[in-house]
Each structure stands twice: as structure tokens, then as C-alpha cells.
Amino acid sequence: MKVLRLIGLTLIIVLASAWLTSGAMAASAADGAVLRVSLQAPAGALKMGDTPDFLGAVTNLGPQPVQGLVVYLSLVSLAPGNEHPVDLEDWSAQKAVRLDRLNPGATDFRNWGMRLIAAGKYGVALTVVDPREPRPIVSDLVPFEIQPKATLVAGRVLPVAIGEPLLIVLLWGGMVFYNSRCYHKQKPEGLG
């Protein structure tokens, strides 16, 4: 009798768990919202000042349309020992978009433009948030390197920095010298 009671209790627990689990999966299966997101770096070397486009793609793999997706770009510096997030304020004018509706099987392709402000190693990723899903979906981190560009050329700055004050002093000194030469040629002081 005790054995039968024990078997029955075990059976209830297993069936209940199975039911609970199958309900979540069902909900999942019943909604059908499965998204795939990818990001592709531009080809070729990148340097400071360039304005490349990163190609992003968000695909609806599920059977139902999805609405109100928020897609946004994230940038991190991968400088060894100094990894940190980068504020996209000055790098990108369009950091996030909202997709009203993405039909089943449809892909939203979008160019994410950036202005490469500073040299270094970086990683960029595209994130999609579905308000009905608890977990955002993130693309692979796309690493890229920005080559430095000399924004200050010593050969341009130094001639100006040295030349201008020197020019003014020479012009002024020349004028003073010229005037003093003229004075020495004048007659002696008059009466009075």
C-alpha cells in the first residue's frame, strides 16, 4: 500500500512537471517569435575620420509577424587592458531604430553609419529587443581596427607658431629703425 502511494505521488509530480514544461514550450511554439540578428563590418582598412557603414540584418524566423522591435548599436573599446564601453554620441547620428512590424520570413537590412573619431581596437554589436521576450538577442561582436591619422602636423604648426610672432617683431622693428634713421637726418632742434 505504501509502495502504491509512493508510485502514485511520483507519477503526479512527473506528469505535472511535464505539463508545465510543455506549456512554456507551447507558448513559445504558439507565438513563433524567433529572431536572427547579424552585423557585418565594411571591407577594407579603416582610419580616423572615415564614415563607414556597418550592414545590419534582422530576420523574423517565426511563423507570426513581430511588432515594436527596438534595434540598437553598441560599441566597446577593445584596447588591451583598457576595455570600456564607448558613448556613441559623437560617433553615430543614428544609434537606435524601432521596427514597427517584421513579417514572418522578412529581413530588415539597414546600414549603420559611423564616424570614426579615435584610433584603436573596437568591437560593435547589434542588439534586438522584443518587448514580449525576456531576453534580447545580440549579434556576434564584430571586431575592427581604426588606424590613426595625424590630426596635427608639426610641419604645418611649427612654421606658423614660430613665423608669425617673428614676422610681427621684424615688421615693427623695421618701422622703428626706419623712423629713427629719418630722425637722425633732421636739422637740429629749433629755437624756443
Partner 1 sequence: MNPGLILVKRELQEDFKASRGAVFLVIATLVLSAFAVLLVSNTELSLLDNAQAVYMMAGIIIALAALVAVIRGSDGFAGERDRQTLEPLLLAPINGPGLAAAKLCGILFSWLTLFILAIPYLWAVGNTGQNLLAAITYLFLAGTLIVVGFGGAALALSARLKTFKGVLSLGLTMLLLLGSPVLLGPSLRQSAVGRVLDLANPFAAALNTLDSVIIDSQGLAWQLLRLAVMVSYAVVILWWLYAATRRLEP
Partner 2 sequence: MSAIEIQELKKSFEGHPVLHGVSLAVSHGDIYGFLGPNGSGKTTTLRILLGIIPPDAGKVAVLGLDPAASGPQLRRRVNALPESHGLYGWMSALSYLVFFGGLYGMELSGGDYRARLRQVGLDPDDSRPIRTFSRGMKQRLGISRAMINDPEVLFLDEPTNGLDPRGRREIHDLLLQLNRVRNLTIMISTHILDDVERLCNRIAILDHGLVRYEGPVHPEAGGHPRYRFHLENEGMIPSPWDFPGISLLDRQDSWITCAIEGRSPAEAINTLITAGLPIVEAAAVTDNLEALYLDHTTGGAL
**Residue 192, all three cell numbers:** 624756443
Q: Is 3 in the site for partner 2 (CB under 8 A)?
A: no
Q: Is 154 in the site for partner 1 (CB under 8 A)?
A: yes
Least distance (Å) between residue 179 CB and partner 2: 8
**In the range 160-189, which residues lie near partner 2 by CB under 8 A?**
182-183, 186-187, 189
Q: Is 49 in the site for partner 1 (CB under 8 A)?
A: yes
Q: Is 3 in the site for partner 1 (CB under 8 A)?
A: no
Q: Do residues 167 and 161 touch, judged by C-beta distance below 8 A?
A: no
Least distance (Å) between residue 147 CB and partner 1: 10
Residues contacting partner 1: total by CB under 8 A: 30
8 versus 165: smaller Cβ distance to partner 1: 165
